[in-house]
Structure 1
Amino acid sequence: MDGIHEILDVIYGSVTDDVLATIIRVEGSAYRKEGTSMLFRGDGTQIGLLSAGCLEKDLSYHVQDVINQRNTKTIVYDLRDEDDLSWGQGAGCNGVISVLLEPIDACLREHLCKLKFHLDSGRRVTMIKKLSKDYSVSDYLFMTDEQQLFGKWHGRLSLQIKSLLNCIHQSLPKSGITFSQELSADLYLHCFEPKPRLIVFGAGRDAVPLVSMASQAGFSVLVSDWRPALCKEKFFPDADQLFMGFPSEVMSMLSLSSIDSVIILTHHFQRDRELLHLLKGHKLRYLGVLGSKARTKRLFDGREIPPEITSPVGLPIGAEGPEEIAISIVAELIQRQRLKKPEKAMARERSWSSYD
């Protein structure tokens, strides 16, 4: 995850001297990729990480300059050298990282709060930042799935600019810097995704580490069970929501989307079968059923398991016990999050290369 959801939660309503730090370019390899953000707060606290600890201390000194001068600034770190006197500090990261620092003034804070609203509402948001020659930010714009525009742009917002931003939004390009012929300027592009949602059906003891790990990995986790003795906040403090009720009752309260993941682990054969029937026809990012393939086949009266259903769940790491199984499941969810782009989106991404 790019860290933006945790940052947006913190700055909402804040009035301190916050500085947003974002990786806008990576040449070679690095600990984190383009689009990753962290927040330096006026009280000295930090939210998120851009490196394995190599850069944050030095960045904190530049942050003070940014706060004092109230200007954006890009810092470039060359981590390719492997001696202890270089930025690589013997780590051999073999990359050059450009980090954009932006003071969060009242205007940017308002727009980041709007970004949070749209992401919390399940809408994807694309952002472009127009960069000057020293890679400071002169203008920026956000566009939602519904083509709503907000941001700060000097001069008239022409049809050409709107068309360009819409093209970027539809093409889902890789985050980073590209040159725009239309604007005769470098642009930093990034697409913000709504926080991925995981719905866990079943609140047994093996669900506890799964919910905790998925939450730490950046998922918004919902837990559902019909048994009041199990579906309790004290067992799932990291869950965003708890739904107490039978599958048919809960399903009517959920608005499932193609970016949702669902795990079924009720350990109740008839409930599992009911859930699979209720989920039939829903296009999900991931649908997994805990248990052996033979058991899952029995849920379908011996027929082959539909290809959209994963069973057994999790990456095949030989996991045993609730914690290891939770690790394997969360790893597979992250893998699906990273690699499973719709074919249409991938085709659009390939077409975007014509703009580079």
Structure 2
Amino acid sequence: MRDIVDGLIAWRAEGLAFAVATVVRTWSSAPRQPGSAMAVNERGEVLGSVSGGCVEGAVYAAAEEVMQTRKAQQHTYGVSDGDAFEVGLTCGGTIEVLVQPWDALADVDEVLAAVKDGRPVATVSLDNKQLAVWPTRVAGSLGDPGLDRAAEQQAAGMLSAGTTGVVHLGAHGEQRLTAVEIFVQSYLPPPRMIVFGAIDFAGAMARIGGFLGYHVTVCDARPVFATRKRFPSADELVVQWPHRYLESTEVDERTVLCVLTHDPKFDVPLLEVALRTPARYIGVMGSRRTHSDRMRRLREAGVSEAALARLSAPIGLDLGARTPEETAVAIAAEIVATAWGGSGLPLTGLDAPIHG
């Protein structure tokens, strides 16, 4: 939803009716994850995707029907569905899609505003009914008070963990393996990418980080380099010693840190702090000689071998990159591989599922 929220807000401002199709469950090598969304408005305009092009035609037709009937539909698409090139997933996976009319969405304008602003909110869907769950309040109903209470508790827990998926509850809220299936979708603020070192490579990283959905901060102690003119795509520019900034800012398990300074007076104190954080990825730029000296200095500072093993250095995958843009692609590829457990190897010759 996050990638189409601006378009949905614009449709609402125009007073257009629309239907939203959301991937609620996947099996095998499905091309999109649960939560991926596609919307169709009454003019026939489309936003987003649920399968990367495999079943969009069938979903489009379902959305048109949903707008007319105002009744939600749920469809499962897989490679065995008739002509695989027309309505199936040629990749071999299977997806389940929930298509809802916009007026079934609880407090739709407030939910869209929260998603756009990066404020936490979760939605709970059951056919034509929906709950919206914020950290401090709830809106909407699934049609039963007990079910509402159970769904609210489930959504609050999933929102705090940032997870999305199908949950089974009894008709009145009790937990069961069968009975009612609800779909909980969590919207958290975008994960952070903090890039240290206001160099040309940092500009390319800021652009690709934004493309990947990160909130990008560029930090450098030198005000002459950390300027908006040099980094127009960064969400935030910080002029401060890197280690001091990192000590004062929020870092969680979704945060990625890209240390591009390759200068020991910046790197060593910064990495001492970075290795105490729960950051998912800590990549450090520099030659092997520079990194060897850096490791020596960190060991002398008392950093343990277990902590040092968290460093991705030299930073990025071996793509033969030369330019800042190519290097940013190599770093981004390693970040994606780290997040999803990818090998970084060419898919040619691998038997593993393509989409994980």
Identify the TM-score tier after normalising by the shorter chain: 0.7 to 0.9
Q: Structure 1 length normalisation: TM-score?
A: 0.75
Q: What is the one-letter code of the residue matched to 2:91?
A: C
Does residue 213 of structure 2 align to residue 211 of structure 1? Answer: no
The equivalent of 2:316 in structure 1 is 314
Q: Secondary structure at the match of 2:206?
A: helix
Q: Secondary structure at the match of 2:312?
A: coil
Structure 1 stretch 217-226 or stretch 248-257: which is displaced more? 248-257
The equivalent of 2:195 in structure 1 is 200
Q: What is the one-letter code of the residue matched to 1:21?
A: A
Q: Secondary structure at the match of 1:99?
A: strand
Shift of 1:11: 3.2
The equivalent of 2:269 in structure 1 is 274
Does residue 139 of structure 2 align to residue 140 of structure 1? Answer: no
User: Which runs of 5 or more structure 2 residues have no equivalent in the other structure?
Assistant: 300-304, 343-356
The equivalent of 1:100 in structure 2 is 98
Deviating beyond 6 angstroms after TM superposition, the runs of 4 or more aligned structure 1 residues are 170-174
Q: Could you say if the C-alpha distance between residues 79 and 152 of structure 1 is closer, same or farther in structure 2, counting changes exceeding 3 Å?
A: same
Is the contact between residue 127 and residue 189 of structure 1 (CA under 8 Å) also seen in structure 2? yes
Structure 1 stretch 327-336 or stretch 105-114: which is displaced more? 105-114
Q: Structure 2 length normalisation: TM-score?
A: 0.75
Distance 2:246 2:160 in 1: 33
What does 1:1-356 correspond to in 2, within 5 Å? 4-12=1-9, 14-15=12-13, 16-42=16-42, 44-80=44-80, 86-88=86-88, 92-105=90-103, 107-110=106-109, 112-113=111-112, 115-116=114-115, 120-121=118-119, 123=120, 126-130=122-126, 137-143=127-133, 146=135, 149-157=138-146, 161=150, 165=154, 169=158, 175-177=164-166, 179-181=168-170, 182=174, 184-247=179-242, 250-251=245-246, 254-279=249-274, 281-302=276-297, 303=299, 306-339=308-341
Distance 1:202 1:324 in 2: 18
Q: Could you say if the C-alpha distance between residues 94 and 240 of structure 1 is closer, same or farther in structure 2, counting changes exceeding 3 Å?
A: same
Q: Could you say if the C-alpha distance between residues 81 and 102 of structure 1 is closer, same or farther in structure 2, counting changes exceeding 3 Å?
A: closer
Q: Name the count of aligned residue pairs.
A: 325
Deviations 1:46-67 (A, max 9, x none): 3322223233234333323322
Shift of 1:330: 1.0
Q: Could you say if the C-alpha distance between residues 44 and 185 of structure 1 is closer, same or farther in structure 2, counting changes exceeding 3 Å?
A: same
The equivalent of 2:302 in structure 1 is none
Deviations 1:52-90 (A, max 9, x none): 3233234333323322333322244343369577424xx
Q: What is the one-letter code of the residue matched to 2:216?
A: V
Q: Secondary structure at the match of 1:291?
A: coil
Shift of 1:111: 5.0
The alignment-based identity, stated in percent, is 26
Q: Give the aligned CA root-mean-square deviation in angstroms.
A: 3.6
